[in-house]
Amino acid sequence: MYFLKFPETKKLFEIFNNNHLEARFVGGCVRDGLCDVRTDDFDIAINCEINKLCNIMEHERMHVIKTGIKFSSITVIINKIHYQITSLRKDANCDGRHCTVEKTSDFKQDAMRRDFTMNALYMDQYGKLFDYFNGNEDLQNHIVRFIGNPFERIREDYLRIFRYYRFCAKYKDYSNRYYNTIKMLAPNISLLSIERIQSEIIKLLQYEENYKILEFMNNVIIKCNLKNYKKLLTVYPDAHITLKLYALFDTDTLLHKFHLPKKYTNVINQYIKYISEPLLYVAYKTSQEIQRDTIILQYIFFDKPLQQVITQEFPTFPLTYSDICNIIPKPGALLKLCERWWVLNSFIPDKLACIEYLKKIAK
């Protein structure tokens, strides 16, 4: 495995060995490594109490981040490589959102608390694979399978419903084998924070083969517009996440129910503002990227024909605020209307014509 050859990994495990600690890589880095996919997300499980481990690392002058220490986890950084190291543990008293964590020295017990068989794969410093639930076989066969009883695993954390569908999209598992269980437990997703849900949805949308998975999810755990989404994928298979979100969900959900970061909401607000505007005006007022997206959205929502992006240079609007503030009080909104009129008249009206139009609409 490539990450076992890192000098940083060898240095870290030398410290573990010198202190008689057993540690194994676990989860995504092992899973992805077995599929020849590289990652920069390295998780390590260790049979050591976290405060003791923290003291050892600090004694060795390692760069330690302690933000996860209350969850029995620290991050050690060596030459910009982040290793998240977590004490072996088992879950107890789960309520669908949180679990009480208990210590253990047994790697298999640590594995039993994980969600899918492919996520319970461990690898030691020598490359030996520890596979307690046939996870590697499931991984190679693109089977996303819960460890143990799916009903109980989901009840431990209802976010696992969304994680299940996200992993199905990633590994193209279209069996929908847990449909009945998920349908039964779906009402409990109301216990989850919207931030956790939207994070899973955004991750799912990053995978190309997600339409079938969204069909499974629709009307069971989410409500989305698959008709619009299919039209989007037909004309723009590589659509970015914001465009996908806008096609799938209504604007009230995106702006008020979801708590999306500003990098999404700023673009969504531009869509709302320009989706009904003539293309020439959109081209004049926005970037080529927003103009391209608007063309696609007008096709999706209004069946308008797809057009070429306008790339011409535009003249400068002949009026300024100072030109008219003495003629028309508080002309801000009217000035924008005049500018729109000027654009839609192919930028032909001069300053005098614009002032006359402003006077007309100000009456």
Exposed, middle or buried: residue 308 (CB in 10 Å: 0-12, 13-18, 19+)?
Answer: exposed
Are 168 and 200 in a shared domain?
yes
Q: Long-range contacts: 98-101, Cβ < 8 Å, 24+? A: 99/156, 99/157, 101/71, 101/72
Phi first, then psi, for residue 85 (nearest 5°) are -115, 125
Of the three residues 223, 238, 266, the one that is the final residue of a domain is 223
Quote the number of domains for the chain.
Answer: 4
The rounded mean pLDDT for the chain is 93
Are 101 and 159 in a shared domain?
no
Are 132 and 204 in a shared domain?
no
pLDDT class for 363, splitting at 50, 70, 90?
confident
Strand 81-87 and strand 42-46: pairing? parallel
Provide the sign of the torsion angle of the four alpha carbons 168, 174, 177, 183, taken in this order.
Answer: positive
Domain of residue 38, residue span = 1-141
Are 152 and 119 in a shared domain?
no
21 compared with 363, residue with greater pLDDT:
21
Model pLDDT for residues 340-357, shown as the tens digit of each residue:
999 999 999 999 999 999
pLDDT at 102: 75
Q: 118 pLDDT exceeds 60?
A: yes
Model pLDDT for residues 233-251, shown as the tens digit of each residue:
999 999 999 999 999 999 9
Phi first, then psi, for residue 92 (nearest 5°) are -150, 155
pTM of the predicted model as reported, rounded to 2 decimal places: 0.88
Are 216 and 234 in a shared domain?
no
pLDDT at 34: 96
Of the three residues 89, 115, 141, the one that is the final residue of a domain is 141
pLDDT > 90 fraction of the chain, expressed in percent and rounded: 86
pLDDT at 323: 81
Largest pairwise CA distance in the chain = 86
pLDDT at 326: 76
Are 23 and 130 in a shared domain?
yes
Are 16 and 119 in a shared domain?
yes
Phi-psi region for residue 118, left (φ > 0), alpha (ψ -120 to 50) or beta? alpha
Model pLDDT for residues 156-211, shown as the tens digit of each residue:
999 999 999 999 999 999 999 999 999 999 999 999 999 999 999 999 999 988 99
Are 106 and 52 in a shared domain?
yes
Are 341 and 246 in a shared domain?
no
97 compared with 115, residue with greater pLDDT:
115
**Separation of alpha carbons 156 and 67, rounded Å:** 24
Are 43 and 165 in a shared domain?
no
Are 169 and 247 in a shared domain?
no
Phi-psi region for residue 330, left (φ > 0), alpha (ψ -120 to 50) or beta? left
Q: 96 pLDDT exceeds 60?
A: no
What is the pLDDT averaged over residues 275-294?
Answer: 96
pLDDT at 306: 94
Are 130 and 151 in a shared domain?
no
